[in-house]
Amino acid sequence: HVQLVESGGGSVQAGGSLKLSCVASEPLSTWMGWFRQAPGKDREGVAAIYTALGGANYADSVKGRFTISRDIAQNTVFLQMDSLKPEDTALYYCAASGTAAIKPLFASGYYSWGQGTQVTVS
């Protein structure tokens, strides 16, 4: 499976911004997604992008604040996070799926996962 490495996490005050990056070890998969998991909570789909066309899906909780994008030449997916809130605090994971017919914000459709990068909003 493709290896994914996330970076860009950190600590920021509410209202601030962070940009996460996910570098894949091979060309980007059909769907690339960002998920997050806060302590004691289930993993949640945040955003996903259909690599070929660039179409994106977002969780309601982040619409208008987060933007997913990709650089196909660099095998990289980004998550621009603006207007961050304390409830955005979580470990953020990048994920890859080679299947087109998935529910993009559901973890079950993805087969490769990164190790995660921590985002803390105070």
pLDDT band at residue 6 under the 50/70/90 scheme:
very high
CA atoms within 13 A on the CB side of 40: 1
* Pair 107, 34: CB distance under 8 Å: no
What are the tens digits of pLDDT across the range 31-84? 999 999 999 999 999 999 999 999 999 999 999 999 999 999 999 999 999 999
Predicted confidence at residue 59, as pLDDT, reads: 98
Say how far apart CA 60 and CA 87 lie, in whole Å: 13
DSSP state of 25: S
What are the tens digits of pLDDT across the range 89-122? 999 999 999 998 999 999 999 999 999 999 999 9
- Backbone φ and ψ for 88, nearest 5 degrees, come out as -85, -5
**Element (DSSP H or E) covering residue 21:** strand 18-24
Cβ-based neighbours of 4, under 8 Å, separated by 6 or more: 22, 23, 24, 25, 94, 95, 96, 112, 113, 114
pLDDT at residue 1 above 90? no
